[in-house]
């Protein structure tokens, strides 16, 4: 593959940022159930309904984001926005998907008792049951095209078994890497052109390398700058930037680091930290928006809305830099036959990863009673057979859960 002339437009967009914002705002308002469920909502909205990406491109994007630190579903959303409408589309996707839950958590921060105790609430149980249906539909739809033969189905099954036995973040990365190695060895060489329609995001290499350089400079430089200047704002920026840079596995995994960073030094009271985390479970969108709550309740010269904005931007900035910095090189792999064969193995391993996540935590936490299972089954039929929009299914499941659970 030849490098493009440096004078070529850096990102070639096929849609508008406003279009991306509208789609992801609906997702940000209705995507309950955690990162794996988010991937199901994304697939329904941009792969099935709007055809912005092919099934293979979407699986490639998921595979890449599993290798990166930070919130995987938000990174997938950024990648979709970048491909669809360039850098403005990337910003629009992140803003629209993140804003609803961030606003809700900041409002909660200003009145900690406003929502009350949501643990065990029927409507929450209904939303969790809907997430089971969303993930199941996405899994079965992707498996049909990404693991359609005996060899790839075997890779997917082996990946699922491995992750059920060893359910850790590092095991996920290892399973995807092994999927690539096994695919390179056992899968047939794809025909010429088999990689067409894959994940093709035209970001120039200079821009990608600059983004990676900024990522590492901030990671190394912010602690020094905070120590030298004794600035509270720089300390908060460093704290949340490191959390977004160094944690693999998404929102739940980042909690110990955040607790150590803000509760230990007395920046946030322990009771407020736990209350905010409970509220974060009740809102749609990425769990990393918990950072907005923490920024709003900081004990220091920066707090409230200013603290929320600072913490939120800091924790997501590493993800944006890594997506821009790695997507071009990942996309270029599809143009090489051996790399495409490895990616076929990666895609099959992704199916196994989603299957394991469907069981734990989605099913084990979402199906806690026969009635919850009934809601999940009804939601699945509505999605798969009646083609009901996911947001309507989610809302209906929450209402029914509030009545019967």
Q: How many other CB atoms sit within 10 Å of the CB of residue 34?
A: 23
Q: Cα(371)–Cα(355) distance, rounded to whole angstroms?
A: 23
Confidence of residue 3 (pLDDT cuts 50, 70, 90): very low
Position 6 pLDDT exceeds 80: no
Residues 44 and 105 occupy one common structural domain:
yes
- Angle, to 10 degrees, between the axis of helix 169-186 and the axis of helix 55-67? 130
Higher pLDDT among residues 119 and 398, named by residue: 398
Residue 95 covered by a domain: yes
* pTM score of the predicted model: 0.76
- Of 301, 318, 335, the last residue of a domain is 318
Residues 270 and 367 occupy one common structural domain:
no
Burial environment of residue 88 by CB neighbours within 10 A (0 to 12, 13 to 18, 19 or more): middle
Q: Cα(267)–Cα(303) distance, rounded to whole angstroms?
A: 10
Residues 73 and 131 occupy one common structural domain:
yes
Domain that holds residue 298: 219-318
Q: Percent of the chain scored above 70 by pLDDT?
A: 88
Looking at residue 148, the DSSP 8-state letter turns out to be: -
What mean pLDDT is predicted for residues 169-183? Answer: 85
- Of 272, 297, 318, the last residue of a domain is 318
Residues 126 and 196 occupy one common structural domain:
yes
Residues 310 and 329 occupy one common structural domain:
no
**Alpha-carbon torsion (117, 121, 125, 127), positive or negative:** negative
Residue 107 covered by a domain: yes
Reading the block at residue 352, the tokens are 């196994």
Q: Which of 44-53, 108-117, 380-389 has the lowest mean pLDDT?
A: 108-117
| pLDDT at position 13 | 56
Higher pLDDT among residues 257 and 151, named by residue: 151
Q: Which of 54-58, 115-119, 308-312 has the highest mean pLDDT?
A: 308-312
| pLDDT at position 249 | 55
Residues 312 and 335 occupy one common structural domain:
no
**Alpha-carbon torsion (275, 111, 73, 385), positive or negative:** positive
Residues 112 and 156 occupy one common structural domain:
yes
- Of 318, 334, 365, the last residue of a domain is 318
Residue 214 covered by a domain: no
Residue 7 covered by a domain: no
Residues 103 and 180 occupy one common structural domain:
yes
| pLDDT at position 78 | 95
Residue 207 covered by a domain: no
Q: Cα(261)–Cα(312) distance, rounded to whole angstroms?
A: 15
Our count of domains for the chain comes to 2
Residue 209 covered by a domain: no
Position 388 pLDDT exceeds 60: yes
Residues 182 and 291 occupy one common structural domain:
no
pLDDT digits (tens, 9 = 90+) for 309-350: 999 999 999 999 999 999 888 877 766 778 778 878 888 888
User: What string of DSSP letters covers 263-327?
Assistant: ITTTSS-HHHHHHHHHHHTTSSS-GGGHHHHHHHT-SSSS-HHHHHHHHHHHHHHHHHHHHHHHH
pLDDT digits (tens, 9 = 90+) for 189-212: 776 544 444 567 778 889 999 999
| pLDDT at position 236 | 93
pLDDT digits (tens, 9 = 90+) for 293-315: 999 999 889 889 999 999 999 99
| pLDDT at position 5 | 40
| pLDDT at position 240 | 94
Q: Cα(382)–Cα(365) distance, rounded to whole angstroms?
A: 21
Residues 264 and 229 occupy one common structural domain:
yes
Residue 11 covered by a domain: no
Higher pLDDT among residues 111 and 179, named by residue: 179
């Amino acid at each position: 593959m030849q490098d493009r002339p440096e004078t070529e437009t850096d990102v070639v967009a096929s849609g508008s940022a406003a279009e991306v914002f509208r789609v992801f705002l609906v997702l940000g308002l209705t995507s309950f159930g955690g990162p794996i469920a988010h991937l199901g909502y994304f697939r329904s909205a941009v792969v099935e309904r709007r055809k912005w990406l092919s099934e293979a491109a979407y699986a490639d994007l998921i595979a890449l984001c599993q290798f990166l630190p930070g919130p995987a579903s938000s990174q997938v959303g950024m990648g979709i926005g970048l491909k669809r409408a360039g850098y403005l589309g990337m910003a629009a996707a992140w803003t629209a998907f993140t804003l609803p839950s961030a606003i809700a958590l900041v409002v909660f921060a200003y009145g900690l008792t406003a929502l009350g105790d949501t643990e065990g609430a029927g409507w929450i149980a209904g939303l969790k049951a809907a997430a089971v249906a969303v993930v199941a539909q996405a899994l079965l739809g992707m498996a049909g095209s990404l693991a359609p033969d005996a060899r790839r189905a075997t890779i997917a099954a082996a990946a699922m078994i491995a992750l059920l036995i060893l359910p850790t973040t590092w095991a996920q990365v290892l399973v995807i890497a092994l999927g690539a190695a096994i695919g390179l060895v056992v899968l047939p060489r794809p025909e010429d052109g088999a990689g067409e329609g894959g994940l093709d995001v035209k970001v120039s290499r200079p821009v990608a390398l600059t983004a990676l350089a900024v990522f590492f400079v901030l990671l190394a430089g912010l602690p020094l700058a905070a120590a030298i200047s004794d600035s509270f704002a720089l300390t908060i920026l460093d704290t949340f930037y490191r959390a977004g840079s160094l944690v693999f596995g998404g929102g739940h995994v980042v909690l110990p680091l955040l607790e150590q960073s803000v509760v230990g030094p007395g920046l946030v009271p322990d009771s407020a930290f736990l209350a905010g985390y409970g509220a974060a479970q009740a809102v749609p969108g990425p769990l990393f928006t918990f950072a907005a709550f923490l920024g709003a309740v900081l004990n220091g010269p920066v707090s409230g809305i200013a603290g929320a904005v600072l913490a939120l931007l800091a924790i997501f900035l590493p993800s944006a830099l890594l997506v821009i910095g790695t997507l071009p090189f990942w996309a270029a792999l599809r143009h090489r036959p051996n790399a495409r064969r490895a990616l076929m193995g990666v895609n099959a391993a992704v199916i196994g990863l989603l299957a394991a996540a469907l069981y734990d935590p989605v099913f084990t936490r979402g199906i806690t009673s026969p009635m919850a299972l009934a809601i999940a089954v009804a939601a699945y039929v509505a999605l798969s057979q009646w083609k009901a929009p996911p947001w309507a299914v989610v809302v209906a499941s929450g209402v029914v859960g509030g009545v019967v659970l």
